[in-house]
Amino acid sequence: MAVVPLATLAQDDGNGSETARDRSLIVGFLEDKLSGAGRDIRIEGFEGLLSSTATLDELTIADDEGVWFTLRDAELDWSRSALLRGRVEVERIAAREIILERLPTAAMNEDLPDPEASGFSLPDLPVSVRIEALEAERVELGAPVLKLGEDVVLSVSGSAELAGGSGQTQLDINRLDATEGAFTVDVAYDNATEVLDLDLSLTEAEGGIVSTLANLPGTPALALTAQGSGPLDDFSADIALATDGEDRVSGTVALQAQADADDPEAPAPRVFDAALSGDLTPFFSPDYARFFGARSTLEAHGTSHPDGRFDLDRFALSTQALSLEGEAYIAADGLPSSFDLTGAITSEAGTPVLLPFGTARHQLDSARIAARYDAAEGESWSATVRADGYAQAGMDIGTAEIEATGTIGRDTGEAGTALGRVTAQIEAALTGFASEDQGLQEAIGANPRLTGALDWREGEPLSIDALTLDTDATTVTATGELDGLESGLEFTGSLGVDTPSLDRFATLAGRDLSGALSLRASGSVAPLGGLFDLQAQAIGTDLHSGIAQLDALTAGASTVSLDARRDETGLTLRALSLDTNAVALDAEGRLSSDDGALTLEASLDDVGRLDLGLSGPLTVAADIARPRAEDPWSGTVDLTGPNTATATVTGTVAQDLSLVDVTATGRNIRTGIAQIDTLLAGPLSLDLEAGRDPETGVLRIDTAALDTGAVVASVTGEMRPDAAADFDLTARLDNVARLGVALTGPLTVDGSLTRADGSAPWQTRTDLTGPGGTTATLSGSVAPDASSADLSLAGNAPLGLANSFTSAALVQGNASFDLRLNGPLALSSVSGTAQTSGARVVVSGAGIALTIPRGAVTLSGQSARLDLEAAADSGGTMTASGTIGLAAPFSGDLAVRLRDLVLSDPRLYRTSVSGDLAIDGPLTGGAQISGALTLGETNISVNPSGLGGGGDIPDVAHVGESAAQRTTRDRAGLLGSENDAGGGGGPAYGLDIAISAPNQIFVRGRGLDAELGGQLRLRGTTADVVPVGQFTLIRGRLSLLGQRIDMQEGALTLQGELDPTLRLLAETSTDDIVVQLAVEGRVSAPELTLSSSPSLPEEEILSQLLFGRGLDQISPLQAAQMASAVATLTGNGGGLVGNIRDSVGLDDLDFQTSEDGGSAVKLGKYLSDNIYTDVTIDQNGESEVNINLDATRNVTVKGSVSSEGDTGLGVFFERDY
């Protein structure tokens, strides 16, 4: 841009012309340079840039919302060569039409701030300015500009001249629309004659601009005039303000020279006099009438002396509630010789006074001000301000008081000149501060206080000594020097902040803050120029923010240190450090428009502190630099993480982002998310080549490629300045089994993402192909702010994908789906269907296998409808239908119908169930399951485990178990307590289920043969089942060694699992005793209890029951028979077999079952330490005798003979390893 004015200055005033090509180049240059982010300038019909008269047909300025400024038929007639003499000379500035529809929207600045500070200096003005004519025939201001609720149309004309100490300005603004209004200013002053002419007039009808913007009650018609003319030695101006034709305020301002009678030629002092009075209540809300009263006055009288002295003999401002009076005398050196000011705000009725400012109601009981100084009495001065009973909405202050004392004097300078000096000691305090904002109250406390001392010497900065703010939460202290405007208000000194308990800021910040924090800073800051040179250190103790990951890093002591400077050469980071018990960081660098560099080293002792599912140390080292302005940024970042994870990022990035070339490599990267870590194991690489075209602003991605070995993905495309975009995405996973899915094979994704401009929706079409016939297509649009979408998803997927998310069931088959999301991104916007084909579900824990010939889920609005038909492999059918809400708490209204559904456990039971169930209510917890079920013929097998009972198989440790093997055991329910916990941790549903079985519940096994029937009802919840009622004994018997014992009592109950509780009682008698037998416990493991009258040991009771004689009177064969009976009842003999074995003097007593189902008893005895013999007798009376002779530790001789005449002999060599 600098080239254009330099070129024009070289031209003479004349009517130059350009060719069409010249004009096109210049217009294009101006449009490109003047336009920017959020600002689009268009110029039409531009002529005469290289001449004295420039014209254009139209200029528009637009932002993201459209055109907001239009200028039509504009003309500039000016002298370019006058600029060389420091003069601005314009013959005419004119426009036929100016339209300002609205104010522009704030645009994001796409450029980073300059690292260099700008500095500060007062502006240089031209020597003279002359604008002969300013004309705008029509100026339209849209309703949003002045916020008047309507458009405003004006005409503007005027002129201006400033040169040689003289100036004049004339401006006329007239409204052209329905509301009348005119504003006229005509001001002229000649420095030589000191003649001032002033004529200001404002008139507007009711509802005008000024009364509306000032929010005057009723927006009355206004008339304001200020007129005066004459030399400053004898000048007066009359001021008048009226509303609705009635005078409200009037007065006079006058200047009068008072010549010295003894020396008429000497410069004369000027006496000024100002007096204004009137009724201000029409200009304010009626609520403020008690503050102003019927009359308010302003009076001022004083004298301006030729030697620079200024006397304010009288100053008085008064309303009904306010009085302020005073006088001041200023010496020629600018320091006061004396002043005396008093004032008060009071109410005659003694009630609080409502103050006339702000939108909120501010009131106080009373206020006083007093200030006094008199050099004739000494250098001391004092001032006091006190307000009592201040209140506004949500806040009260009992007393606010400021007391200041000090001195005003003159020191002698080096050249003997008098230099002014002013000192001040300040104390300010609030007493009884109370706020409804609890956070503000806790942070400030009831009695905040400010103290400090100031010292100013003429020609030197203002000295600030220990300016301290004390609140209940914090102490802030500043000491230093504040320089003048020429330095940009530079402050040089130190600042300290001490907060012993951050919890006092917790409510205000909305976070659980605690700990202690102190800050110390020293150096210099010039806010107007953006310069600083600072050294700062913050020290924290046990800092707590309520953010768990951050709190884990700041426990204990934390220190942050900074040493930095910003000046006209750029930003220098001399040192930055962070040190906590967990983190260490050190950095240094520099940045300017020409070069830059940054080095950084950081470490974290354990990333587990961040709750990322990882543990181990993390280190980062970075070295980034730009040697010259024309060079790009380049550098390297190295990371070392837990579990030998490493990563290196290298690349170059141009300052204007025209080039971005970054490469990242890594190995053993971990995220703590198992599915992602599986994809990142091993080497990883990421390549990015991109850039932004400086001319067109197009952001392009040439290559963005990721390769982890398991995943290969890439993105290419571009985005234009208007946010139009076109991206392509491809990705391939080599094997979906890496994700824990019960499928193998590759998965590919191929898609696109486009949009026409920044206001248009994103359009996408993405195709997915995977193993097992998996296909899906996602297409449609998403709103720019992602608030809504119109997307469709259609395809097919194997149901086996669900097996990765449940261990309770194994699912097979295929599903097809055709879904649409239209509206906000919520389930309620989803519609469509999903259907199964050839589905099969196996619930191993319940022994159920279902074939589902038809199943469908239909989504519509707020709910999903389920329709399902299934047939069990074991027999029977099940149907389920109903609706489920798609918003929390996901309320269901489901009906389940069972018809002869066979349920079985080969070890325990087999039954069939028919009936109807209803599930109604929130599925996240609290739904009710109700209905009635009828049991068909039910056979319950009391545990038939083999006699002898070798005991449980001990826990097996699976070494080197693969994920697939573990999944198989999980689905089989063999992973132990995690899957065995009854009830689970899921939601609890209420129960009200009636179960009916009038008869045909058969309990058989271990000599039992019983039939039960009846009804029961399950109540309570799925987490705590409460059965009401039971199945009772209809008939039954117990068979032992040919004896049949009838059952007298029996019951079967359910306790929440498919392993009912059994209780059967039988009683019989012998010649000597009465025997009671009880079988109780879970059907899977019942226990036998024997009792008698009179009381005997269990083995004695059994001997009496079976043989009618005591245990000591039975033969070994009878003992074997008795043990067999016990095994029949208990499944393994238990303690009774041991007791019998010991009673008859055997070393081994065992009961066996042959391959054909026959039973046998085995009796063993050691004849000596190395000779063992046993006899086996089967149910047919056949027997076999075996003898083992241990010849040595490793050699055994074995022989056998059977009742059928078979014999055998063998020698065995054995060794244990």
User: Band of the pLDDT at 965, cuts 50, 70, 90?
Assistant: low
DSSP assigned state of 941: E
Residue 955: pLDDT above 80? no
CA atoms within 13 A on the CB side of 595: 8
Q: Rounded distance, CA 342 to CA 464, Å?
A: 27
Q: For 666-678, how does the pLDDT look when each residue is reduced to its tens digit (9 = 90+)?
A: 998 888 777 788 8
Tell me the per-residue pLDDT of 259-285, one tens digit each, with 9 for 90 and over: 877 777 788 899 999 999 999 999 988
Mean pLDDT over each residue of the chain, to the nearest integer: 84
Residues 6+ apart with CB under 8 A from 941: 907, 908, 909, 1004, 1005, 1083
pLDDT tens-digit series, residues 393-413: 899 999 999 999 999 998 776
Residue 327, in any domain of the structure: no
pLDDT at residue 946 greater than cutoff 50? no
In eight-state DSSP terms, residue 16 is -
Residue 325 lies in a domain: no
- Number of Cβ within a 10 Å radius of residue 370: 15
pLDDT, tens digit, for every residue of 992-1045? 999 998 888 888 877 788 889 889 888 888 888 888 888 888 888 887 766 778
Per-residue pLDDT at 1146:
73
E strand or H helix at 883: strand 877-885
Work out the average pLDDT over 869-891.
Answer: 87
Give 899's pLDDT tier (boundaries 50, 70, 90).
very high
Q: Positive or negative CA dihedral for 1010, 1015, 1020, 1026?
A: negative
Position 363 confidence tier, pLDDT thresholds 50, 70, 90:
very high
Percent of the chain with pLDDT over 90: 43
Q: How far apart are CA 260 and CA 270, in angstroms?
A: 11
H helix intervals, 915-1067: 963-971, 977-980
In three-state secondary structure terms, 600 is strand
pLDDT at 979: 41
Burial class (CB in 10 A: 0-12, 13-18, 19+), 260: exposed
> What is the model's pTM?
0.66
List, for residues 584-626, the tens digit of each pLDDT value.
999 999 999 889 999 999 999 998 888 877 888 999 999 999 9
DSSP output for 628-678: STTSPEEEEEEEE-STT-EEEEEEEE-TTSS-EEEEEEEES---S-HHHHH
Which regions of 205-351 does DSSP assign to beta strands (E)?
A: 222-231, 234-243, 246-257, 270-278, 296-304, 310-318, 322-330, 336-345
1104 sits in the region (left: phi over 0; alpha: psi -120 to 50; else beta) called alpha
Q: Which of 275, 205, 276 is nearest to 245 (CA)?
A: 205
| Rounded Cα–Cα distance for residues 420 and 430 (Å) | 33
How far apart are alpha carbons 325 and 338 in whole angstroms? 14
Is the distance from CB of 506 to CB of 494 less than 8 angstroms?
Answer: no
Contacts 24+ apart (CB under 8 A), 325-332: 326/371, 332/305, 332/307, 332/308
pLDDT of residue 1138: 58
Output the pLDDT for position 13.
41
For residue 4, the model assigns a pLDDT of 36
Average pLDDT for residues 812-827, to the nearest whole number? 87
pLDDT category at 21 given cuts 50, 70, 90 is very low
The pLDDT of 837-849, averaged and rounded, is 77
**Cβ within 8 Å of residue 319, ≥6 positions away:** 280, 291, 292, 293, 296
Please check whether residue 718 lies inside any domain of the structure.
yes
Please report the pLDDT score of residue 1187 as a whole number: 86
CA atoms of 491 and 529, how far apart (whole Å): 12
Q: For 763-817, what is each residue's pLDDT tens digit?
A: 999 999 988 888 999 999 999 888 999 999 999 988 877 776 665 667 888 888 8
3-class DSSP state of 281? helix
Least confident range from 534-543, 972-981, 1079-1088: namely 972-981
Does residue 1166 lie within any of the structural domains?
no
| pLDDT higher at 1083 or 804 | 1083
> Which of the four pLDDT bands, split at 50, 70 and 90, describes residue 107?
low
Helical (H) or strand (E) element with 1100: helix 1098-1107
- For residue 407, what are the β-bridge partners? 380, 423
For the chain, helix (H) and strand (E) counts, in that order, are: 14, 67
* 125 close to 102: Cβ distance less than 8 angstroms: no
Mean pLDDT of 1106-1118: 76
Among 381-395, 519-533, 1132-1146, the least confident range? 1132-1146
Cβ-contact 336, 379 below 8 angstroms: no
Using the predicted structure, report yes or no on whether residue 660 has a pLDDT greater than 90.
yes
Q: Contact, 988 vs 1022, CB < 8 A?
A: yes
CA–CA distance, 828 with 379 (Å, rounded to integer): 80
- Is beta strand 1171-1178 parallel, antiparallel or unpaired with respect to 1183-1190? antiparallel
Of 308, 247, 241, 238, the residue nearest 274 (C-alpha): 238
Contact between 236 and 228 under an 8 Å Cβ cutoff? The reply is yes
Q: How confident is the model over 210-234, as a mean pLDDT? A: 92
In this predicted model, what pLDDT tens digit does every residue of 752-767 receive, in sequence order?
999 998 889 999 999 9
The verdict on residue 740 lying in a domain is yes
Query: Residue 486 gets which letter from DSSP?
Result: G
Residue 163 near residue 137, CB atoms below 8 Å: no
Q: Rounded to the nearest 5 degrees, what angle is found at the Cα of 191, between the Cα atoms of 190 and 192? A: 90
Which of residues 19 and 902 earns the better pLDDT score? 902
**Phi, psi angle pair for 296, to nearest 5°:** -125, 140
pLDDT at 86: 67
The interaxial angle of helices 1116-1130 and 1134-1143, nearest 10 deg, is 170
Q: Mean pLDDT, to the nearest integer, of 148-156?
A: 91
Total number of domains constituting the chain: 1
Q: How sure is the predictor about 629, in pLDDT bands with cuts at 50, 70 and 90?
A: confident
Length of the chain: 1217
Q: Check: CB of residue 577 under 8 Å from CB of residue 561.
A: yes
Strands 128-141 and 87-100: parallel
In angstroms, rounded to a whole number, what is the distance separating the alpha carbons of residues 958 and 975?
A: 11
% of the chain with per-residue pLDDT over 70:
87
- Asked if residue 723 belongs to a domain, the reply is yes
Distance from C-alpha of 423 to C-alpha of 83, rounded to nearest angstrom? 47
Rounded to 5°, angle at Cα 1007 from 1001 and 1009: 25
Return the bridge partners of 354, or none.
363
What are the Cα distances from residue 682, in Å, to 399, 579, 618, 671, 1108? 71, 33, 18, 13, 79
1109 located within any domain: no
pLDDT of residue 111: 54
- Show the domain range for 725: 673-680+695-774
Lowest mean pLDDT among 176-185, 452-461, 909-918, 1159-1168: 1159-1168
- Say yes or no to pLDDT of 1195 above 50: yes
Does 118 reside within a domain?
Answer: no
Of 786, 849, 779, 788, nearest to 818 by C-alpha is: 779
